[in-house]
């Protein structure tokens, strides 16, 4: 967005919200108090949002044009500074009302506001601490509890996700998917199921990853590699490409597929503190005696949480120091490749690429230049930038499943900007972004099947797959397919 931020001071009421686009009602005046409700103060003594961080916000408004929910609805309480105001009210003793929870839940956690904030407000810490309070202290409606329970009984468990591969491949091969799409009934009857169905990528073979992959040539480092949950189940080719690229650059890759599980990112981003801590301890133990120099991640949301393990387990006397040491070794794939420097030869790839900054890579980790540096180093590859890159695509972990209608609007906005580049290939570093944008493009009349540039089609790939194709001298057609 290019609009100037509003001046400091009380917010101006936003425009009227389109019918059905806002999941909860919202007060517009940042200075107005929420209605009183029965019950005690909003927050307990265990890790409430720190008052000193809340006080850092001067309500300047620079965050507003970068916040997806404010851009969608124009509601003050659905902006970062509005939510911080609600946190202040909670710290002052106001109860945790349905309305307050609705505004906290509506946040995507994209952290674009952290990048935009001139005062350095740590909104990431504030919203994560607040969500932990919400999960402990707020009694959600039965239907919402059931949906969240189902999500967190499935998505953080790679083995359970892999069990879905067979039925999903059969469904995709049978033609039922096209039939269901033609009827148009599923989004009206079951929007959550329709969202899940639209997000499911086209599945390919998923051979079991090896325990280790030896370095090609002289060994420069020993690295652990996260296989992930959604990544391992639905994008196994990304993991395979990641391991090949690392090996080609002189890294011995330790995978340990039988021992590692979820990193806890989905849980920590949704306030499920104890669950996230259990996942973190398990992953630390899985790589405790492997002698790794670095731990490499190819999923932006996972990398963001892994780098915060020291904070997540800071009160655990057995794991606090181990978690901090582990977090210090975490690198995104693009970070470690730039840090080590290239040794594998890059072969030409005559293709135009639109690079999408995944929010938890660009905003949360500050990793922006490294992926672009790696892509620009490939001969004949043309890199194109996407308009409004700071705005989230609407994936945000499981936010798109919990909020399908606004997520679809954000996805279509991002897909429109992607198609506007005229590039042949969209490249990003997060499986959620790939699924979200791939689901939105057909709704705009485009296609994710290979087509000539400018024809309304664009193929999708992870950064690792592009590097792998260049190093292995694969054809552009194979990459695009």
**Per-residue confidence (pLDDT) for residue 456, from 0 to 100:** 55
Q: Is residue 298 part of a domain?
A: no
Contact 304, 285 (CB under 8 A): no
Q: Is residue 133 part of a domain?
A: yes
- The model carries a pTM of 0.86
Question: Buried b vs exposed e over 89-128: b needs ≥16 C-beta within 10 Å?
Answer: bbbeebbbbebbbbbbbbbbbbbbbbbbbeeebbbbbbbb
Q: Is residue 122 part of a domain?
A: yes
Q: Is residue 26 part of a domain?
A: no
**Do the strands 212-213 and 251-254 form a parallel or antiparallel pair, or are they unpaired?**
antiparallel
**Per-residue confidence (pLDDT) for residue 207, from 0 to 100:** 77
Q: Is residue 23 part of a domain?
A: no
Residue 396, pLDDT > 80, answer yes
For 251-276, the pLDDT digits (tens) are 999 998 788 999 999 999 999 999 99
**Per-residue confidence (pLDDT) for residue 193, from 0 to 100:** 67
Q: In the beta sheet, which residues pair with residue 213?
A: 253
For 294-312, the pLDDT digits (tens) are 999 999 999 999 999 999 9
pLDDT band at 39 (very low <50, low <70, confident <90, very high): low
**Per-residue confidence (pLDDT) for residue 18, from 0 to 100:** 36
**Per-residue confidence (pLDDT) for residue 376, from 0 to 100:** 97
Q: Where does a domain end: 137, 169, 194?
A: 137
Q: Where does a domain end: 137, 157, 189?
A: 137
pLDDT band at 224 (very low <50, low <70, confident <90, very high): very high
CATH (domain of 466): 3.40.50.11810
Average pLDDT in the chain: 87
Q: Where does a domain end: 120, 137, 154?
A: 137
**Per-residue confidence (pLDDT) for residue 436, from 0 to 100:** 94
For 310-333, the pLDDT digits (tens) are 999 999 999 999 999 999 999 999
Which range of residues forms the domain containing residue 92? 51-137
CATH (domain of 122): 1.10.1060.10
Residue 53, pLDDT > 90, answer yes
Residue in 78, 80, 60 with CA at minimum distance from that of residue 69: 78
Spell out the alpha helix ranges (H) of 46-122.
51-54, 68-73, 80-91, 98-106, 112-116
**Do the strands 459-462 and 425-428 form a parallel or antiparallel pair, or are they unpaired?**
parallel
**Per-residue confidence (pLDDT) for residue 201, from 0 to 100:** 72
Q: Is residue 165 part of a domain?
A: no
Neighbouring residues of 329: CB distance < 8 A, sequence distance ≥ 6: 292, 293, 294, 295
Q: Is residue 418 part of a domain?
A: yes
Residue 451, pLDDT > 60, answer no
pLDDT band at 40 (very low <50, low <70, confident <90, very high): confident
CA distance 35 to 33: 6
pLDDT band at 188 (very low <50, low <70, confident <90, very high): low
**Per-residue confidence (pLDDT) for residue 12, from 0 to 100:** 33
Specify which of 36-50, 256-270, 365-379 reaches the highest per-range mean pLDDT: 365-379
Q: Is residue 174 part of a domain?
A: no
**Per-residue confidence (pLDDT) for residue 30, from 0 to 100:** 36
How many separate domains does the chain show?
A: 2
Query: What average pLDDT does range 128-135 have in this prediction?
Result: 96
């Amino acid at each position: 967005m290019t609009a100037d931020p509003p001046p400091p001071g009380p917010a101006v009421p936003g425009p009227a919200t389109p019918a059905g686009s806002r999941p909860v009602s919202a007060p517009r005046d940042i200075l107005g108090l929420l209605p009183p409700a029965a019950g005690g103060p909003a927050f307990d003594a265990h890790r409430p949002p720190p008052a000193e961080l809340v006080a850092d916000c001067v309500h300047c408004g620079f965050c507003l044009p970068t916040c997806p929910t404010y851009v969608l609805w124009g509601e003050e309480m659905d902006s970062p500074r509005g939510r911080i105001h609600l946190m202040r009210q909670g710290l002052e003793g106001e109860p945790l009302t349905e309305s307050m929870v609705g505004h906290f839940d509506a946040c995507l956690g994209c952290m674009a506001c952290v990048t935009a904030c001139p005062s350095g407000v740590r909104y990431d810490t504030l919203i994560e601490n607040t969500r932990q309070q919400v999960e402990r202290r707020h009694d959600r409606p039965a239907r919402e509890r059931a949906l969240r329970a189902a999500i967190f009984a499935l998505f953080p468990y790679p083995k359970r996700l892999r069990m879905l591969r067979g039925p999903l491949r059969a469904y995709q091969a049978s033609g039922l998917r096209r039939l269901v799409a033609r009827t148009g009934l599923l989004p009206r009857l079951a929007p959550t199921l329709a969202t899940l169905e639209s997000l499911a990528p086209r599945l390919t073979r998923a051979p079991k990853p090896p325990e280790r992959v030896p370095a090609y040539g002289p060994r420069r480092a020993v690295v652990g590699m996260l296989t992930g949950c959604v990544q391992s189940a639905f994008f196994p080719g990304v993991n395979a490409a990641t391991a090949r690229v690392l090996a080609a650059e002189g890294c011995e890759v330790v995978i340990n597929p039988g021992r590692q599980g979820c990193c806890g990112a989905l849980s920590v981003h949704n306030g499920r503190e104890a669950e996230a801590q259990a996942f973190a301890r398990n992953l630390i133990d899985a790589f405790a005696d492997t002698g790794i120099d670095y731990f490499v991640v190819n999923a932006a949301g996972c990398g963001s949480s892994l780098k915060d393990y020291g904070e997540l387990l800071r009160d655990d006397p057995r794991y606090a120091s181990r978690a901090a040491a582990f977090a210090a070794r975490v690198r995104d794939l693009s970070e470690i490749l730039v840090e080590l420097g290239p040794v594998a030869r890059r072969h030409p790839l005559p293709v135009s690429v639109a690079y999408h900054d995944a929010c938890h890579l660009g905003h949360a980790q500050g990793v922006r230049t490294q992926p672009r540096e790696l892509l620009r180093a490939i001969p004949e590859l043309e890199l194109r930038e996407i308009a409004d890159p700071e705005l989230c695509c609407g994936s945000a972990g499981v936010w798109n499943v919990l909020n399908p209608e606004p997520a679809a609007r954000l996805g279509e906005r991002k897909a429109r900007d992607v198609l506007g580049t005229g590039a042949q290939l969209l490249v990003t570093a997060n499986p959620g972004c790939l699924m979200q944008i791939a689901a939105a493009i057909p709704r705009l009349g485009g296609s994710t099947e290979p087509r000539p540039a400018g024809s309304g089609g664009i193929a999708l790939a992870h950064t690792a797959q592009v590097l792998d194709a260049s190093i292995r001298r694969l054809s552009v057609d194979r990459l695009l397919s």
